[in-house]
A and B are shown apart, each in its own frame.
Chain A
Amino acid sequence: MAKGTSQRISFRAVLLACIVLIGGFGMVTVSLFRWQVVHGEELTAQALEQSLQSTTISAMRGTIYDATGTKILAQSASVWTVVLEPNYIREDEELRRTISRGLAPILEMDEERIYEKTGEDSYFSYLKRQVETDVRDAINQFLTENEIESGVRLIPDYKRYYPYGTVASNVLGFTGYDNTGLDGLELYYDEELRGTAGRLVASKNAWGTDMPFEYEQYVGASDGNSLVLTIDETVQSILEKYLAEGIEKYKVKNGAVAIVMNVHTGAVVGLATHPNYDPNDPYTILDANMLQELQSLPEDQRDEAETNAWYKQWRNKAVSDTYYPGSVFKMVTGAMGLEEGVVTLESTFTCTGNKEVEGYPAGIDCWKEEGHGLEDFAAGIYNSCNPWMIHLGELLGAETFCKYREAFGMTEPTGIDLPGEAVNLYHSLEDMGPTELATEAFGQNFSITPVQMITAASAIANGGYMVQPHVVDRIVDPEGNIVKTTDTTPLRQVISQETAQTITSILQYNAAEGTATGGYVPGYRVCGKTGTSEKIAQHNEDPTKPMEYIASYCGYAPAEDPQYALLVYFDEPDGASNGGLTGGNAVAGPIFSKIMGEILPYLGVEARYTDEEFGNLDVAAPSVVGLTLDEAIAAIEESGLEYSVIGSEEGSTLVREQTPEVGTTLPKDGSVVLYTEGFSQEEAVTPVPDFSGMDLVNASYLAAINGLQISVSGSSSGLVSTQNIAVGQNVRIGTVIALTFVDNIETDTFVSLE
């Protein structure tokens, strides 16, 4: 029995040991094989994935230069993002207090807010983004002084700066917090500008801090490419200056556009739109009217209205707005006619003030109710005669008209390198009835963008070649090597050189003597065409409101070798408050003239004055104060000016004062008033009369009888629209009053086909 017991014990113990060892460890070994060999790789990958953290290293965004390559329009600079790591500090009440109290004044943030953030259950919480280096230094000093080693981190980042503020803002666009382009070129060329972010892959423990492993892998960031624009900052600033002036002067309600294009390359040398904004701070509404409107809204509607206002000021009207080109388009229709040979310069047509159109028995009116009478082809254009154009449209026929319309790029977006280009509306060949053809022939009833219009005008200017509009001249890598240069080869030829030259000469005459004299620029043989578009759709929506207009002027110079085209476009000049000026010649013309007069010399187009023009050139008044009267008279005569004397007329008496002051410009035949010993102050001043609405003759007469002088700008055949010194203000006898003359002719007639 005892033997049996022992053997049983042995047997059972060995049995159990075998179960435990072979069974238990056997199973375990199977498991190990399964996890380590079969699933080893995938588990390793998952383990690595959870413990490897990659940190993005921001790439520096490329710079945007203007056409000169020296002016920086947009640039990134190093800034710092302040991040809290609350989980390392949230247990320590005192430390949280110290940190929030210390950082609040440095970051200009609320102490309680920082304190709250330090208590979050998180390892990463943004405190403030994009602080400057001096703030970083202050924070580092604070951390060192208080021996704070964890909880607050500074991450290098970049911030975008736009040194010229609002200049070209609607072209440049702006970037968001994460340095991605949100609008304009920043958006369109985002991939080029952005560069490739680098990565730092490092092992992290489950708390997110570093592990002592050699797994770190550093892939450096490659900085973004830079853009060199075709836009010249000087030209751009001139455009913006005069647009603002025009908006102010003509009470323009809905913004404005001015585009300057190199007619041979399609390079946009300047593109200004209004309203604009400061890309450094895109969320601030700059336009005073928009801001006032916004603030007048009740609180609950303000958010939505503010968003709308943002989009409005960020919008690039030059590519995103469409309008009826109106009479400006007549240059294109004219070119079609000549090119197709359906008309010649000798062709004539009699305008009776109305032309009957098939399907529209009432006929379509000319802007000149009594009619232009018998006109040749050139007169049809420089008179901006609607019946002539309708006649021309009929001669061309719908099919040919549509073919040319497409060739001139009026049926699809230009493909300019800017975001948000609008798709324009027009009647297709199938829908093109006689009335549609008639109205489209003089630029109504179809819409295009301002960029499409100036591109078509450039084609006429450059001898018939369609060019590709663009704002980026070349893309340059961070080392300065050119990555890509924009191809400026013309896309196609749409009209012949002869046709183009013929239209050019007609347009030159138009600007000098025709219906577009508002844009005349002395010294430059400017070609121009005005346009006035009625915003009929808007009017139909709410007929109780008065009709609103878009006044535009499109032209180019110089006529003998066109170089630059300019389109000026004012959206809704308020005729009711600016003296009834809503037409292209009256509103856009003078601004066109001023812009051209300033940019052409800058762009290297030399002025060549005719004798008549040369005679009208202004001269500066010489300095004669302190001289004897004889000496003064000699000096003035040397300048080719005349003089008059108030006070003693003795030759040796001293000149006490002079009007105009030294350096003031006055017309060639102007005179300088010399105040000598014994003049009386009362005798010397006179109130400024009201010149408005006068023609040149009457204005000259009124000035003469008041002892004043005038300097004339604008169309000498027009009427005074503005004077630079307010009515009733007392000025010295002899003061030069600058008068602007405009022809206020409404050359557009809209025909509603509804």
Chain B
Amino acid sequence: MARDRRPNNRKNTASAHIRESGTARGLRRVPAGDTMAAAVEAVPQREKRRREVQTRLFSLGQGMDTPLLAFILVLLCVGLVMLFSASYAYSYYHENGDSYFYIRRQGIFALAGTAAMLFVSTFDYHRFHRLAYPIYLVSVGLLLAVLLFGKVLKIAEIAPNEDDATRWINIGPVQFQPSEVAKFGLITVLAHYISQHIEEMGDPMRGVGVPLGLMLVCAGLVVVEPHLSGAIILGALGMILIFVGGAKVRHLLLWCGVLGGLGLLALLLLQAAKGGGEDSGGGYQMARVVGWLHPFDPPEGVDTWQIRQSLYSIGSGGLLGTGLGQSRQKYLWLPEPQNDFIFAIVCEELGMFGAILVILLFSLLIWRGVYISLHAKDKFGTLLGLGITFQVGLQAVLNICVVTNTIPNTGISLPFFSYGGTSLLMLLGEMGILLNISRSASVEKT
């Protein structure tokens, strides 16, 4: 609809050409309102003749959603500042007096990531239709690889073992978590699958069973690592996409019931096979729950040092905070202040107001992501955008919930804030996809 799109005012040859020809965008756009049915019918036929969006270097901003870009960049900047503040003491003591170790690396990755984001934002997301299964298969392959190298071959150079868990793959200087890749792989494949089977979502098998299966492969492999929080996010993302895609709630519940029952059974059998040892995974999770309930006076054997220090940090912040850089807790009291618990330092230094501002920034990002996704020109864009948005949203909510002891402690990093080069790179890449979606979405451009 014409009112949805305001003609781009830029006197740019490429955009002028597109607008005047009235082709590419107009055709690919998913129309709202009356013409919806016709458009939906038209999509599969026209898809093969779809034309690439031409975006050139000097027209990077073309059609891109400025608020979204602004939220991303603001979050990234705030994240970097807070990372520097949170990490410099830790860095000083652990990196031989180099306070800039973490911020230097993160800064480089942030720059590279921003470049990558802008580049990806010019990369037509529809190509992921074709890339969906390959990416998914690569993800599964990486998940298998980490298990193979970590659990079977036990090659610590490739898959280091930390506390009996193998979550990382090292390839030369590059380190990353295959579960991070798997999140993107899962989002892509489900967006592709669901958008292809949008009419069959009412079917219990094709609408729920198959996508659930795709999700379970990833989540299952991540559980084996073991990396519970990663699996939870994968599971949640899968369910969200299936749900949003139109699956019937009762089918979803049914499948969950069946699979949950089976899973529980398998767990019990596994426990029995292991001999029900005291130090089995269940006891470990139980300790976390107990520690969550009693952070200050944990029963014997339950270590709540980290969450306790986190709450000391948060409490020390009060309403207005101790001031940027003035955290005391980052002086080795709070473990890993640059990582999962960076938000505690945000609370300490910026206070409740600062913390809520950061939460608002995340909320704005999520709101804008959802808004853009819903206005994407096709279902694939919608689902891909929602997947990426909810990934960020879920991680942010869960991380902050952990840090504030709202839920039991589990290792989830805070997007844009936590230290981690490759994951920041991936995050910004995903933001690039979201920006790319925004270029063709029927969102008011400013």
**Chain B residues in 8 Å Cβ range of A203:** 328, 331
Total count of chain B residues near the partner, CB < 8 A = 56
User: Which among A25, A41, A211 has the highest number of chain B CB atoms within 10 Å?
Assistant: A25
A17 to B199, CA, bound (A): 23
Quick one: which of B93, B316, B352 contacts A32, CB cutoff 8 A?
A: B352
A291 at the interface (CB under 8 A from B): no
Minimum distance in angstroms from B337 CB to a CB of chain A: 11
Q: A28-B400, A205-B89 are in contact. Are A6 and B32 (CB under 8 A)?
A: yes
Within 8 A of A (CB), among B329-356: 329, 331-333, 347, 351-352, 355-356
The segment from A44-52, A167-175, A443-451 that touches chain B is A44-52
B366 at the interface (CB under 8 A from A): yes
A644 at the interface (CB under 8 A from B): no
Question: CB distance A36 to B328 under 8 Å?
Answer: no
Question: CB distance B317 to A205 under 8 Å?
Answer: no
A634 at the interface (CB under 8 A from B): no
B289 at the interface (CB under 8 A from A): no
A44 to B40, CA, bound (A): 59
A5 to B40, CA, bound (A): 11
Interface residues on A, range: 35 or more
Quick one: which of B32, B332, B351, B363 contacts A206, CB cutoff 8 A?
A: B332
The segment from A8-16, A361-369, A558-566, A600-608 that touches chain B is A8-16
- Secondary structure of the B contact surface, majority rule: helix
**Chain A residues in 8 Å Cβ range of B36:** 2-3, 6
Q: A24-B397, A36-B318 are in contact. Are A16 and B329 (CB under 8 A)?
A: no
Question: CB distance B400 to A39 under 8 Å?
Answer: no
A753 at the interface (CB under 8 A from B): no
B419 at the interface (CB under 8 A from A): no
Quick one: which of A8, A39, A207 contacts B332, CB cutoff 8 A?
A: A207
Q: A25-B359, A33-B352 are in contact. Are A20 and B366 (CB under 8 A)?
A: yes
Question: CB distance A28 to B316 under 8 Å?
Answer: no
Contact with A along B392-409 (1 / 0, CB 8 A): 011001101100111000
Question: CB distance B351 to A36 under 8 Å?
Answer: yes
| Chain B minimum-CB-distance residue to A44 | B316
| Chain B minimum-CB-distance residue to A33 | B352
**Chain B residues in 8 Å Cβ range of A33:** 352
B244 at the interface (CB under 8 A from A): yes
Question: CB distance B370 to A28 under 8 Å?
Answer: no
**Chain A residues in 8 Å Cβ range of B245:** 9
Q: A28-B359, A36-B319, A47-B312 are in contact. Are A21 and B333 (CB under 8 A)?
A: no
A37 at the interface (CB under 8 A from B): yes
B140 at the interface (CB under 8 A from A): no
**Chain A residues in 8 Å Cβ range of B401:** 24, 27-28, 31
Question: CB distance B37 to A3 under 8 Å?
Answer: yes
A43 at the interface (CB under 8 A from B): yes
Minimum distance in angstroms from A230 CB to a CB of chain B: 55
Question: CB distance B370 to A32 under 8 Å?
Answer: no
Contact with B along A683-724 (1 / 0, CB 8 A): 000000000000000000000000000000000000000000
Question: CB distance B333 to A50 under 8 Å?
Answer: yes
Within 8 A of A (CB), among B188-244: 198-199, 240, 243-244
A16 to B249, CA, bound (A): 14
A37 to B351, CA, bound (A): 10
Question: CB distance A206 to B333 under 8 Å?
Answer: yes
| Chain B minimum-CB-distance residue to A17 | B370
A35 at the interface (CB under 8 A from B): yes
Question: CB distance B406 to A31 under 8 Å?
Answer: yes
Contact with A along B403-441 (1 / 0, CB 8 A): 011100000000000000000000000000000000000
Minimum distance in angstroms from A483 CB to a CB of chain B: 42
B184 at the interface (CB under 8 A from A): no
- A-B CB contact pairs (8 Å), 22 listed: A6-B32, A9-B244, A9-B374, A13-B373, A13-B374, A20-B366, A20-B390, A21-B367, A28-B400, A28-B401, A28-B406, A31-B404, A39-B315, A43-B315, A46-B312, A47-B329, A51-B328, A203-B328, A205-B331, A206-B332, A211-B328, A213-B328
Q: Which 3 A-B pairs have the closest CB atoms?
A: A43-B315, A24-B397, A205-B331
Beyond A5-B198, A17-B393, A40-B317, 4 extra complex contacts between A and B, CB < 8 Å? A5-B199, A12-B244, A29-B359, A51-B331
Interface residues of A (CB under 8 A from B): 1-3, 5-6, 8-10, 12-14, 16-17, 20-21, 24-25, 27-33, 35-37, 39-44, 46-48, 50-51, 203, 205-207, 211, 213
